[in-house]
Amino acid sequence: ETGVTQTPRHLVMGMTNKKSLKCEQHLGHNAMYWYKQSAKKPLELMFVYNFKEQTENNSVPSRFSPECPNSSHLFLHLHTLQPEDSALYLCASSRRLDGVMGYTFGSGTRLTVV
Amino acid sequence: GIQVEQSPPDLILQEGANSTLRCNFSDSVNNLQWFHQNPWGQLINLFYIPSGTKQNGRLSATTVATERYSLLYISSSQTTDSGVYFCAVSTGANSKLTFGKGITLSVRP
């Protein structure tokens, strides 16, 4: 375990479903991130939160809706997704927004949209 | 934005062999990490190494920040070393951690 826990590990959902991904860390980190990893593509940053405030939205479609109720928890709410949204979604955290001391990643949620 | 290039893209080794993985980056960085992604997708942090040299068992890494490259050395490779190795950097100007495309390593018994 890295200290960053993601649930569920696997998710299959239809295009009309609504589901949520959860991430939690108890490392005392103040910044949390969502990344998307599609097949044959580099990891893409989606959202950044610092002290539970969103600081970056990397042009992500509105069918992905993040929520950060506190510095330890991060959610990604999904609705009306497309098959091309199938990917591995990774959550990460860091002590500071500038990444000094490094980033820690969770195990990811493998999402399949059918 | 900053560019990160890793080489070689693919590497096949016989168990017991040594290897060197390279990461070049196009700007000054305040953070550089090497990750190993296992077959289940988990990114395991190997080294936080914005400069200098570190060793952890059979793995070691060196970053020469002034020349904008980092090397990951794997000695006496094992089949469990197989997977994708990513180099990722951030510049401190923002929080974005930029990843290279990864190096796919296959270690054969």
pLDDT in tens, A28-42: 999 999 999 998 788
Token pair listed for B59: 């793995």
Confidence class of residue A103 from pLDDT cuts 50, 70 and 90?
confident
Q: Per-residue pLDDT tens for B48-101? A: 999 999 999 999 999 999 999 999 999 999 999 999 999 999 887 665 788 999
pLDDT value, residue A99: 67
Separation in Å, CA of A107 to nearest CA in chain B: 4
Cross-chain CB nearest to B33 (options A37, A56, A102): A102
Q: What mean pLDDT do residues B33-43 have? A: 89
Q: Which residues of A touch B31 (CB under 8 A)?
A: 98-100, 102-103
Phi/psi of residue A84, nearest 5 degrees? -70, -5
> In this complex, which of B94, B97, B102 lies closest to A103 when CB atoms are compared?
B97
Please name which of A18, A28, A24, A30 lies closest in space to residue A107, comparing C-alpha atoms.
A24
pLDDT category, A95, cuts 50, 70, 90?
confident
Are B97 and B88 contacting, i.e. CB atoms less than 8 angstroms apart?
yes
pLDDT at A100 over 80: no
- Chain B residues whose CB is inside 8 A of the A30 CB are none
Mean of all residue pLDDT scores within chain A? 92
Q: For residues A97 and A71, is the Cβ–Cβ distance under 8 A? A: no
Residue B8 amino acid letter: P
Where residue B41 falls among pLDDT bands split at 50, 70, 90? confident
Query: Read out DSSP for chain A?
Result: --SEEEE-SEEEE-TT-EEEEEEEE-S---EEEEEEE-TTS--EEEEEEETTEEEEE-S--TTEEEEEEETTEEEEEEES--GGG-EEEEEEEESSTT-TT-EEE---EEEEE-
How do residues B1-17 score in pLDDT, each as one tens digit?
889 999 999 999 999 99
pLDDT of residue B73: 98
**pLDDT reading at A46 higher than 70:** yes
Contacts 24+ apart (CB under 8 A), A57-66: A66/A34
Residue linked to tokens 């900053």: B2
